[in-house]
Amino acid sequence: MALSSTPYKFSVALSNTDAHVYTELKFVIARHPSETEDRMITRLIAYLFWYHEHLEFGRGLSDTDEAALWQIALDGQVEHWIDVGLPDAERMTKASRKGQCYSVLVYGNRRIWVEKELTKAVTPDMQIFAIPDDTLAQIKSFLSRNMKLELTIADGTFYLSILDSNSENQSIVFQLITLN
């Protein structure tokens, strides 16, 4: 019997002054049984960072031909393909040709990946960022299956408030690391 995905419910007040996005969001992320908490959190941050009304979660781990997230136009064309993790150079090159824009949000041990994969595939039009390991660990320590968040992004700085009914609100301030 196959294990089923675990749903994580999010309610987010998003204010991204850099992208002029101000909205209230309610959505569910289905965490695949083989997906780590780090990867799921990275998908969450990517979704909020690049938020657009047509941005959707892909099947990701269960379908390697799909992005972790993607923005699809009404005519079916991929406008923005977003990967998370440490994709190999071949995947980055192939995915960057499928859409108008290609982005990656990296997490984990990226030192060797930057030397071996990123240098082979990076082009000036790619957006490649990394989430700091300590930030990921902080968010993971507050992870629950039903979360209320407030996120403000201003001048490249993320101000994340985790609103927890059982304890005090937790605030995390961080910046993504630019890799290209």
- Confidence band for 62, pLDDT divided at 50, 70 and 90: low
Residue 1 lies in a domain: no
The pTM of the full predicted model, rounded to 2 decimals, is: 0.94
| pLDDT greater than 90 at residue 15 | yes
- Confidence band for 35, pLDDT divided at 50, 70 and 90: very high
- Confidence band for 61, pLDDT divided at 50, 70 and 90: low
Residue 93 lies in a domain: yes
Q: Percentage of the chain surpassing pLDDT 90?
A: 81
- List the CATH number of the domain containing 57: 3.10.640.10
Question: How many Cα atoms occupy the beta-carbon half-sphere of 161 within 13 Å?
Answer: 11
| pLDDT greater than 80 at residue 63 | no
Taken in order 150, 128, 176, 106, the sign of the CA dihedral is positive
- Radius of gyration of the CA atoms of the chain, in A: 16
| pLDDT greater than 90 at residue 168 | no
| pLDDT greater than 70 at residue 167 | no
The residue range of the domain holding 33 is: 6-178
Which amino acid type is present at position 68?
A
Question: How many Cα atoms occupy the beta-carbon half-sphere of 42 within 13 Å?
Answer: 25
| pLDDT greater than 90 at residue 122 | no
Instruction: Tell me the C-alpha distance between 61 and 77, whole Å.
Output: 22
Total domain count, the chain: 1
Name which of 56-60, 112-116, 139-143 the model is least confident about. 56-60
Residue 81 lies in a domain: yes
| pLDDT greater than 70 at residue 179 | yes
By the 8 A CB rule, do 103 and 50 touch? yes
Residue 94 lies in a domain: yes
The closest of 58, 59, 92, 56 to 74, measured between CA atoms, is: 56
Instruction: Tell me the C-alpha distance between 140 and 163, whole Å.
Output: 14
